[in-house]
Amino acid sequence: MNTPAASADAVRVRERATDVAIIGAGPVGLMIANILGLQGVRVTLIEKLEQIIDYPRAIGLDDEALRVFQSVGVVDALLPHTTPDHWMRFVTKDGHCFASIEPRTDEFGWPRRNAFIQPLADRVLYEGLARFEQVEVLLGTSVNGFVQDAQGVSIDVTDSRGERRTIRAAWMVGADGGNSFVRRALDVPFEGRTKPNQWIVVDVRNDPIGSPHIYMHCDHERPYVSAALPHGIRRFEFMVMPGETEEELSKPDNLAALIRKVVADPDKVDTIRKRVYTHNARLAETFRVDRILLAGDAAHIMPVWQGQGYNSGIRDANNLGWKLAMVVKGLADGRLLDTYTVERRAHARSMIHLSEVAGDIFAPNTGLGARFRDAFVKSMNVFPAVKRYFVEMRFKPMPRYEAGVVLLPPPRPTGGWLARRLERAGDSAPGRLLGLMSQKRDSLLGRMAYGRDPHAASPVGRMFIQPRVRLSDGRVMRLDDAIGNGFAVLAWGADPTFGLTLQARALCERLGARFVLAKPDVQLDYADDVPAGVLALGDVQGRLKDWFSRLPESVVLLRPDRFVAGVCSPQQVSEAIVELAGKLGMTDSAMREAALPHRPARANVAIVEAA
């Protein structure tokens, strides 16, 4: 699908070619540009604003997103702008904390919940692009239209001086926000709902409270939020009640009355900004239209209650970046990009439901909803196991890919009377809650709804753990830093290359896959069982041994985004690699050239400010 091309008499100052054009220099566009930059891909990042946004927006960063920052080599610059282990506490009107979400796991190498300052995180990503000479950033540049054909996309842009040019890209990514011009021009349906109530957000400096964490005050008269952020910043959010307007609430006296709920002297509050927003829950019908892909808020938007909007966008970048790089380099054909929608859309829907459930618990729309919430909270005190299930957020849907680049049988059709009943009840608060619980197929409710799933316990399609490991030179580091960002074949206690066929070895060489042998840390000094070309790692924390002890298999195939593509026994490695190549849609030329050495990718960048 196309947008109207510019008129024939438009002045074209020059035309440039690029592998990937990204529309929007928000966090998702910036992250995709960093991922592609590391792969040596030519990127043009187009942003209509003359600078990246510098006011606070998202405030929650999860462990999966931190792992992606780590993968592009900028996490150390980000960490000073974060607060680890940032709990979310639900508080009654009289100040009683009835639920505190405090996940303490670090299975992916980072704390599960973190507060952060988004403008500073975006700045870290922006400055990271200076490493790559083949990445260009055009600030102050607007997209007038685009036309795609079988070979690529022609994008008509105008910079802040009024100069027009055409950018010719093999592929284009629309990462231009919830009101995406790209999505609307493609006429991709964006279905969902808008909550009837609005919220006024006030960000302040010099935190007037200072207490850590996020407090969700479940006040029947007016629910509100108080969140501590790094660098002495605090966020207040107050529900806009029926009949109130943004203009009225923003008046100094009315705003002071709101803040007086939590601050003794509102006149001394150092305000950064205030803004009224509406909670939306929407999902694009597809994330790909031929040579154009959608990512971040352009593909899905969700209520803020679990801080998953930003994190879901980073997950999109993590999934899409390596696939685009493979296609651009000719290693895989365009079918690989179809797996982006297959893998990401279902999980984005689950995160939207999770955010809606949290909103239903915190701020029900009706009196019936409030009574259900109160009864539900009381029941948690009667059933400690139920309370732990919700307080520890065990029902949070972690990404699990059942189709796409995974070595699993196709998912079987779902159904059953309970599944149908839950689907019909999905528009109510209880229905959304029960539906979310049933999505975990290995839970009791999930088995009742869908039947027993023989693959529910399989790690395939899930993110792999990231413990600390030791290298042969004695250095201890996180797993991803040790094995790099490419494909990996990781085996526990056995040589993953033993008996490898020439075809499988050639495919791994073409993919740049790394062979890894993990062993107990005390065995690391013994190197006679480590052949040339295999990286040996010591299991410092014992977590790799624990992970493999739950499986009958001892070899795992890891994708560049650190999801498990497949597991197998040592004697099945060659067959698994060949099957994975098929799932990747490796091109005929890539298969023919599988044994040829790689040419080194370029690294270093020009940042162009078209202002």
Binding residue per annotation — 44? Answer: yes
| Residue 256 assigned ligand-binding role | no
Q: Which of 16-25, 89-98, 275-284, 356-365 has the lowest mean pLDDT?
A: 356-365
Q: What pLDDT is recorded for position 96?
A: 78
Q: Which residues contact 236 (CB under 8 A, 6 or more apart)?
A: 201, 202, 203, 204, 224, 225, 226, 227, 258, 259, 262
Say if residue 276 carries a ligand binding annotation: no
Q: Is residue 602 part of a domain?
A: no
38 annotated ligand binder = yes
Does the annotation place 377 within a ligand binding site?
no
Domain match, 363 and 412 both: no
Task: Flag whether 445 is marked binding.
Answer: no
**Quick one: pLDDT at residue 575?**
96
Q: Is 36 annotated as belonging to a binding site?
A: yes
Please answer whether residues 567 and 551 qualify as being in contact, where contact means their C-beta atoms are separated by less than 8 angstroms: yes
Give the tens place of pLDDT for each residue, 17-40: 999 999 999 999 999 999 999 999
| Residue 413: pLDDT over 90 | no
* 295 in a known ligand binding site: yes
Indicate if the alpha-carbon torsion angle 241, 427, 64, 137 is positive or negative. Answer: negative
Tell me how many domains the chain contains. Answer: 3
> If 0-12 CB within 10 Å is exposed, 13-18 middle and 19+ buried, where does residue 253 land?
exposed
Please check if 405 is assigned to a binding site.
no
Mark whether 363 and 377 lie in a shared domain.
no
123-150 confidence digits (pLDDT tens):
999 999 999 999 999 999 999 999 999 9
**pLDDT tens, 305-346?**
555 679 999 999 999 999 999 999 999 999 999 999 999 998
pLDDT score at 561: 97
Report if residue 461 sits inside a domain.
no
For residue 101, the model assigns a pLDDT of: 79
**Digit-coded pLDDT (tens) for 504-541:** 999 999 999 999 999 999 999 999 999 999 999 999 99
379 and 416 share a domain?
Answer: yes
pLDDT band at 431, cuts 50/70/90?
A: low
Q: What is the CATH number of the domain that holds 580?
A: 3.40.30.10
- 88 falls within a domain: yes
Residue 142 pairs in a beta bridge with 158
306 marked as part of a ligand binding site: no
**418 and 332 in contact (C-beta within 8 Å)?**
no
Contact 101/88 with Cβ under 8 angstroms?
yes
Q: Name the 3-class secondary structure at 217.
A: strand
Q: Tell whether 585 is in a known binding site.
A: no
User: Percent of the chain having pLDDT more than 90?
Assistant: 60
For position 329, what pLDDT does the model report? 96
Residue 538 among known ligand-binding residues: no
Same domain, yes or no, for 388 and 259? no
Domain, as residue range, for 551:
468-592
Q: Is 406 annotated as a binding residue?
A: no
Match 């990718």 to its residue by tokens.
601
According to the annotation, is 444 in a ligand binding site?
Answer: no
- Share of residues in the chain with pLDDT > 70 (%): 77
In a domain, 436, yes or no: yes
Tokens of 222: 């007016």
Do 515 and 430 reside in the same domain of the chain?
no
Residue 41 lies in a domain: yes
Cα–Cα distance between 552 and 9 in angstroms, integer? 67
Residues 304 and 399 in one domain: no
Q: Is 479 annotated as a binding residue?
A: no
Asked whether residue 439 is assigned to any structural domain, the reply reads yes
**pLDDT tens-place string over residues 266-294:** 989 999 988 887 777 889 999 999 999 99
Is 54 one of the annotated binding-site residues? no
Q: Does 200 count as an annotated binding residue? A: no
294 annotated ligand-binding residue: yes
Whether the per-residue pLDDT at 372 is higher than 50: the answer is yes
Binding residue per annotation — 297? yes
Residue 28 labelled as part of a binding site: yes
| 32 in a known ligand binding site | yes
Residues 383 and 275 both lie in one domain: no
**Residue 300 sits in the same domain as residue 413:** no
Q: Are residues 289 and 162 in the same domain?
A: yes
79, pLDDT greater than 70: yes
- Averaged pLDDT for residues 603-609: 47
40 marked as binding residue: yes
Residue 35 in marked binding region:
yes
- Residue 154 pairs in a beta bridge with 147, 168
Residues 368 and 379 in one domain: no
Tell whether residue 290 is among the known ligand binding residues: yes
pLDDT on residue 270? 93
Residues 397, 302 contacting (CB under 8 angstroms)? no
More confident residue, 303 or 29: 29
Q: Which residue has the higher pLDDT, 32 or 264?
A: 32
Is 46 annotated in a binding site? The answer is yes
**Quick check: is 608 in a domain?**
no
Q: Output the pLDDT for position 434.
A: 52
Q: What pLDDT shows up at residue 450?
A: 47
Tell whether 496 is in a known binding site: no
Low-confidence winner among 169-178, 372-381, 432-441, 493-502 (lowest mean pLDDT): 432-441
Tell whether residue 433 is among the known ligand binding residues.
no
pLDDT tens for each residue of 538-570: 999 999 999 999 999 999 999 999 999 999 999
pLDDT band at 480 (very low <50, low <70, confident <90, very high): very high
The answer to whether 42 is annotated as binding is: yes
Say whether 298 counts as a known binding-site residue: no
Instruction: Answer yes or no: do 426 and 474 share one domain.
Output: no
User: What is the reported pLDDT for 179?
Assistant: 93
Q: What pLDDT, on the 0 to 100 scale, is given for residue 274?
A: 86
Is 219 assigned a ligand-binding role in the annotation?
no
Is 541 assigned a ligand-binding role in the annotation? no
The answer to whether residue 138 sits within a structural domain is yes
In a shared domain, residues 185 and 319: yes
CATH number of the domain where residue 18 is located: 3.50.50.60
Given pLDDT bands bounded at 50, 70 and 90, which one contains residue 360?
low
